[in-house]
Amino acid sequence: MAAGGGAGKMAAEAWAAARDKFRAARALSRVESRKDPATEPFRSKYAARALLEEVKQLLSGAAEGGEAVRRAVLEYELGVNHADTEELSAGEEHLLRCTRLLQPQRLSRRCVALYIQAQVARSGSGDGSGSGNGPHPALCPQNNLGILWSERDEIHAAREHLEAAESAYQQYMKEDGNPPLDPSEHFMDEEEKLTDQERSKRFEKAYTHTLYYLAQVYQHLEMIEKAAQYCHTTLKRQLEFSGYYPVEWALNAATLSQYYLSKQCFMEARHCLAAANVIFSQAGQVPSAEDNETEQDQQDLRQRKAEIARCWIKYCLNLLQSARKLLEDNIGELDLDRQLELKAQRKKEEDEKENGRKKAVLFVTSDICDSVLAMEEKVSCVYPLDFQEAREIFLVGQNYVQEAKEFFQVDGYVTDHIEIVQDHSALFKVLAFFEEDYERRCKMHKRRVDMLEPLCADLNPQYYLLISRQLQFELADTYYEMMDLKVAIGNRLEELDPHTIKKINSLAQLAIKYYELFLDSLRNPDKVFPEELEEDVLRPAMVAKFHIARLYGKLITSDGKKQLENMQTSLEYYTFLVDYCEKYPDAVRAVETELELSKEMVGLLPARMERLRAKLSPFI
Amino acid sequence: SVEGDAIKVYVRVRPPSEGTALPDGDQGLCLSVLSTNTIRLHSKPEPKIFTFDYVANMETTQESVFSSVAKNIVESCMNGYNGTIFAYGQTGSGKTFTMMGPSDSDNFTHSLRGVIPRSFEYLFFLIEREKEKAGSGKSFLCKCSFIEIYNEQIFDLLDSASAGLFLREHIKKGVFVDGAVEQVLSSAAEAYQVLTMGWRNRRVASTSMNRESSRSHAVFTITVESMEKNNEIVNIRSSLLNLVDLAGSERQKDTHTEGLRLKEAGNINRSLSCLGQVITALVDVGNGKQRHICYRDSKLTFLLRDSLGGNAKTCIIANVHPGSRCFGETLSTLNFAQRAKLIKNKAVVNEDTQGNVS
């Protein structure tokens, strides 16, 4: 209808000229320009622009009202052309003219697709002459978009254009819904026109891009929840209209799951991960474009798989840790009343949940639906409430630990490997919370020690200072916990047997050793402990000192003199805390409880030591 | 407060080359140096003041730049610390002059030679001095490598035939480029020779790929290994000195890269690769919760992880051109330098024993 009508009003000759020139311009700008030499990067673009201007002349000769859409197409092409050649304000002018021309009939079948594309293009233009407020991309790799929208004003304008495009789409789909004309069709002869299927495909793709840009805009405006929602919808639409690379999609979905974890939305997180696994498995089946995959590609693929496994590990870990938070009493033990209460509550909610789930935005297109559901069934998304349930989640996590470690071996991937082992240790730690038997719980902690200790010994702190400190601290804490458990076990006995005493003492000594290693890592090259602690190590350092003080207090000995010495050492460490906080009152906030107890001990210990001294030499 | 290992930032203002300052307008200059650590940018409507660790004005000598920036870093390298010196700035801001020296002469003996040749001299001077002091008990081994990162790929500048090297980690030796050529150095002159040879390769590489060299980063690394024998005990210490030439900060006016803005929007068939970045940014806000991000650091940040907030001495030399025509680039360089100061080692120790003090 459009071309036919145009051809009717314009002389057939003029129409043919306009059509051919327009076509040539598009070829220049979309195909030829890629081959332009570096010295003349915009050669084809400039040539295309000249042609577009000629077409515009031809059209203005026609001067008919019905040509408005075609004029808008030209303005759009010119706008994009100017922006591509870095004449942004000229580009914006053309695009503005384009949307003005379309405004009255923007929701018509002929215009809506072009209108949306023009708005998307405008959202990316505007004159941000690259004042480059963003950090250098080399140092901040994730922030390339900061360069695109360096000014606040621009991003607000971008948002307006994109939201206009979004609502045009929605309104059109509601009121009309037929596949609209593609902008390129306005310069096609009747017989070349696209099929409805192709039209629909292009239209939906343009809309997906609108949502994709909106996700970016909302993220930059720090509307995090909204941004996440748009990311999710973009992923979903990519699946529906099959415009995606499986590996990339899977990684995006897996990463999105991590966002849901931070919001404690375990059902959504699990769904993203299950879909990531399913889509990822497509990647192996589809041979790559060149067919002969290099070893590098294979390795990349294995790495991505391991990355997704690591997202699963975090899922299991977070689910267990959140459950522990719900279930623990004020001394960090399992609260049995709370456990019963939550179990009852869960029974009641179970049915309702099934219904709620269907309302959420899910990636369920018919062909992957079953696979995703099957994947989801392998692990729960509700809080585990007892050891048995916790263990099931733990085992899933542990399987993913093995899978991730297959790729991230210590030789070549030190940091990644250790991070995975740290997660494994954390899985054991949280599982131990659910274990009621102290002996078995102790064994779980021993497993943690066994996996962390050799790494800690081998690691060169010159290059891995941070991880090195983390390992030292974690080992110290683990030994500390094991000692506490042994004391608790010992307390149930009538009398402490020599074996238990030996065990307690040796665990305490090991805890002290690792706390001291950690504290030593804070010393400068001349081995001097810092006068004032850096903010980021303040709390761990103070906790280390405090725990050492307590550990010396727990050492068991029948030798009075030795006991006196231990008390003396203990007192010194408590005093450190008290003196430090006096000197730097800002530190108090970080260690309130510890400080209070330290003050108490500094008050009590000298008297106790005095008594002990008197007992040791009663005749003086 | 505590000084810490925050990155030191040094800004150097080059003199405008003859004939360029005046035609720009009455003032011609877009900034003035107020003191040895502040600079004022004549922005409108309000001028903007920047504070850095040092600001070198146009009269500052090469010698003084070296002593205030690099001397310290070379010394700590001898003490077993890793050290890194970054050079940053737009083309024409004096980056090469500061780092290498006058471009058309034998920089190694020239009185205006730059930070790099001076660092070499000083390093080997310190090594000789140590050797004399310790006698036969102490020996040194210096090796160097020179790589280029372009388009997230690593090239070995000491072996122009190689391509696509990989970054790996070793539990004792940290991050390294797998397969990079290591050349043994015995003197400062030799080091300089290797550097200039590699520099030539860099140009070759950039033209053969039909890409401008200013989009690549070059990293020259010297490994200093000392071995000390005390009776039967052998004490080995090693440290790295990285000299990094960052890709130019200027807009790429004459290339495709700046077209990014609308290409993204125009080319509707492109993969939605930025979505990953958005999602990553969403997750980063995740209030200290356990999470894993699937997207890795850039090659440069991975290689220099230790220098960007680890236990290393790191310094950035930001070069700026004072001409008012360069206002935009200068502002962006200064903004970048300001941000760099905030990078610091964050030693987050997993510590959740709170409430467990019974």
Q: Does A148 touch chain B (CB under 8 A)?
A: yes
Q: Does A46 touch chain B (CB under 8 A)?
A: no
- As for the ipTM of the complex, it is 0.81
Q: Identify all chain A residues contacting B331, using CB atoms and an 8 Å cutoff.
A: 131-132
Q: Please give the Cα distance from B168 to A428 (Å, whole number).
A: 29
Residue-by-residue DSSP string for A529-561: PPSS--HHHHHHHHHHHHHHHHHHHH---S-HH
Q: Identify all chain B residues contacting A461, using CB atoms and an 8 Å cutoff.
A: 311
Could you read off the pLDDT of A432-470 as tens digits, one per residue?
A: 999 999 999 999 999 999 999 999 999 988 888 888 999
Could you read off the pLDDT of B55-68 as tens digits, one per residue?
A: 998 989 999 999 99
pLDDT band at A386 (very low <50, low <70, confident <90, very high): very high
Question: Scanning every residue of chain B, which has its alpha carbon at the shortest distance from the alpha carbon of A541?
Answer: B349
Question: Scanning every residue of chain B, which has its alpha carbon at the shortest distance from the alpha carbon of A211?
Answer: B275
pLDDT value at A392 more than 50: yes
Q: What percent of chain A has pLDDT over 70?
A: 88
User: Is the CATH number of domain A65-124+139-235 1.25.40.10?
Assistant: yes
Q: Which of residues 192-251 of A touch B (CB under 8 A)?
A: 202, 205-206, 208-209, 212-213, 215-216, 219, 224, 227-228, 231, 234-235, 238, 244-245, 248, 251
> Are A231 and B275 within 8 A, CB to CB?
yes
Could you read off the pLDDT of A31-85 as tens digits, one per residue?
A: 888 788 767 778 888 999 999 999 888 887 655 555 788 889 999 999 888 877 7
pLDDT value at A129 more than 80: no
Cα A405 versus chain centre, distance = 20
The neighbour count for residue A24, using CB atoms within 10 Å, is: 17
Residue-by-residue DSSP string for B84-104: EEEEE--TTSSHHHHHT--TT
What are the tokens at A402?
Answer: 């093995």
Q: Does A41 touch chain B (CB under 8 A)?
A: yes
Across residues A306-330, what is the average pLDDT? 95
Could you read off the pLDDT of A90-114 as tens digits, one per residue?
A: 888 898 999 999 988 889 998 999 9
Task: Find tokens 């902008």 and name the residue.
Answer: A183
Cα A129 versus chain centre, distance = 31
Q: Does B44 touch chain A (CB under 8 A)?
A: no
Cβ-proximal residues to B220 (8 Å cutoff; 6+ apart), any chain:
B116, B144, B145, B146, B195, B198, B242, B243, B244
Could you read off the pLDDT of B275-325 as tens digits, one per residue?
A: 777 788 788 765 667 888 887 777 888 888 777 656 678 888 999 888 887
Under 8 Å CB pairs connecting chains A and B tally to: 282
Q: What percent of chain B has pLDDT over 90?
A: 25
CA atoms within 13 A on the CB side of B62: 20
Q: Identify all chain A residues contacting B293, using CB atoms and an 8 Å cutoff.
A: 255, 258
Tell me the CA distances in angstroms from A393 to A316, A377, A379, A382, A387, one per residue in order: 6, 12, 6, 10, 10
- Report residue B216: phi and psi, to 5°: -110, 155
Q: Identify all chain B residues contacting A306, using CB atoms and an 8 Å cutoff.
A: none
Tell me the CA distances in angstroms from A600 to A165, A565, A606, B264, one per residue in order: 66, 19, 11, 64
Q: Identify all chain B residues contacting A477, using CB atoms and an 8 Å cutoff.
A: 351, 353
* Per-domain boundaries in chain A: 65-124+139-235, 245-283+298-335+363-436, 437-529, 551-619
Of A231, A411, A530, the CB nearest to B279: A231
- Report residue A237: phi and psi, to 5°: -65, -35
* Cβ proximity of A232 and A362 under 8 Å: no
User: Residue B240: which region, alpha, beta or left (left: phi > 0; alpha: psi -120 to 50)?
Assistant: beta
> Are B287 and A262 within 8 A, CB to CB?
yes
Q: Please give the Cα distance from A9 to A6 (Å, whole number).
A: 5
Q: What is the pLDDT of residue B194?
A: 92
Query: Helices then strands (H, E): number in chain A?
Result: 23, 0
Tell me the CA distances in angstroms from A317 to A76, A428, A455, B291, B347, one per residue in order: 51, 10, 21, 9, 22
Peptide bond into B45 cis (omega under 30): yes
Q: Please give the Cα distance from A590 to A616 (Å, whole number).
A: 39
Question: Scanning every residue of chain B, which has its alpha carbon at the shortest distance from the alpha carbon of A123?
Answer: B265
Q: Does B171 touch chain A (CB under 8 A)?
A: yes
Question: Scanning every residue of chain A, which has its alpha carbon at the shortest distance from the alpha carbon of B310?
Answer: A465
Question: Scanning every residue of chain B, which has its alpha carbon at the shortest distance from the alpha carbon of A307?
Answer: B294
Residue-by-residue DSSP string for A376-429: HTTS--S---SHHHHHHHHHHHHHHHHHHHHHS-TTB-HHHHHHHHHHHHHHHH
Of B80, B349, B353, the CB nearest to A469: B349
Helices of type H across B3-162: 62-65, 71-78, 95-99, 115-134
What are the tokens at B69?
Answer: 């920036």
Of B80, B301, B345, the CB nearest to A141: B301
* Cβ proximity of B198 and B183 under 8 Å: no
Q: For all residues of chain A together, what is the average pLDDT?
A: 86
Across residues A388-412, what is the average pLDDT? 97
Could you read off the pLDDT of B142-181 as tens digits, one per residue?
A: 999 999 888 778 899 999 888 789 999 999 888 999 999 9
